[in-house]
Copies of this chain bind each other. A is one copy, B any other.
Amino acid sequence: MKTYRFLLAGLGNIGRNLLEILHTKQKILRDEYSVNLIPTVLADSSGVLSESHQNEIDLMAVINAKKAKRGVATLPHGNANISVLEALSHNPIDVVLDATPVNLETGGVGLELTRLALEKGVHVVTANKGPLALCYQELAAMSDFDDASKPGLRFSGAVGGAMPTINVGRSDLAAAHINRVEAVLNGTTQVILEMMASGSSYDEAIQEAIHLGIAETDPTLDVEGWDAANKLVIVTNAVLRQKATLNDVSVTGINTLRADEVRAVRMLGERMSLLATAEWMGDHYKLSVAPVPLADSHPFARLAGDEMAIRYETDIYGTQTLITTEHGPIPSAAAMLRDFLDIHRNSHH
């Protein structure tokens, strides 16, 4: 049995569901994976809750508080006056689980937390695209991606929810040359495009998606293609091993489309999708995100609104296609558990 004391930052949809999964799967984690996970610091925008001799963290109490929209600082022993970075420095943490909100300008607290953890030799599992899209090379160089003796860094939940995008690309296609990557990496635009094809205007579709909780109140990152572009940047660095940032991606969003264009494509038996593409040009990959009409024979033409997909065309492994069908935040939260278990399996410390 190996014990890991964890810090979880961010208790929104993904973080809270991760706590529920860890609670539900506690027995299987002990019995089948010989892993004992101890919640040591939980942090949200209200402050932090730390374990101490006087206070063993009760996961169910935290889950119930979050369901009732209360921050951890309001709980007994909660503290609104120390930051998650201080909490990481002052507690014995083995793994940081980062489910903080995406900040694409600065990387936000997720970037600071990931840097500090890796510096301290603490493993990091993150579902936060921001730090990776901005600083992939720096963070990878501090982690086991660079040297197996360094702390683990995993981020599969940041790139397509529960779809094993990164693991398949890096491990299952080991030593391959990848000629082309095609992917549908943004679920929100899939839903909006489907609504437009079925008769809604762009604005109606956006409002409906917000109403259904599928789009965020400000859906800019999704509809302008930046969310998909971020994920493509991470795949390019992690799988294609080409240094890339957002500046290297030609990005066109679905906000450029009129509903009648989307419907005209559908009338032809095709399907408009926001497609992320990396194409090998002989000495580098050309990266783009753009709405593309897919012929009915294209393997992505029939993806439902709750599906994402990626397709790797390789030299020796043929073409490998992954499709994920997922509703809500649970599969992205589960990807963080998968990543933690991968670190555990690979851990030589």
Bound CA span A331–B176, Å: 11
A337-B174 contact given A299-B323, A320-B162, A320-B164, CB 8 Å threshold: yes
In the assembled complex, which residues on chain B have CB atoms less than 8 Å from the CB atom of A337? Answer: 174-175, 316
Bound CA span A174–B28, Å: 10
**A211 interface residue, CB < 8 Å from B?**
no
A327-346 interface bits toward B, Cβ cutoff 8 Å, 1 = contact, 0 = none? 10011011101100110011
A334-B317 contact given A32-B175, A346-B346, CB 8 Å threshold: yes
Stretch at the interface among A57-65, A165-173, A245-253: A165-173
Contact B172 A167 (CB under 8 A): yes
Bound CA span A297–B164, Å: 24
Interface residues of A in 242-285 (CB under 8 A from B): none
Bound CA span A316–B32, Å: 17
Contact B345 A348 (CB under 8 A): no
A28-B338 contact given A316-B330, A323-B323, CB 8 Å threshold: no
Contact B325 A319 (CB under 8 A): yes
Q: Binding site of A, secondary structure by majority: helix, strand, loop or mixed?
A: mixed
The count of chain A contact residues (Cβ–Cβ below 8 Å) is 46
**A29 interface residue, CB < 8 Å from B?**
yes
Given contacts A316-B330, A318-B325, 16 further A-B contacts (CB under 8 A): A21-B316, A28-B175, A29-B175, A164-B164, A164-B172, A168-B168, A171-B338, A171-B341, A171-B345, A174-B341, A174-B342, A302-B302, A317-B331, A317-B334, A321-B325, A322-B323
15 CB contacts below 8 A, A to B, read A25-B175, A29-B175, A162-B316, A163-B320, A167-B168, A167-B172, A171-B338, A175-B338, A316-B331, A317-B326, A317-B335, A320-B324, A321-B322, A323-B323, A348-B348
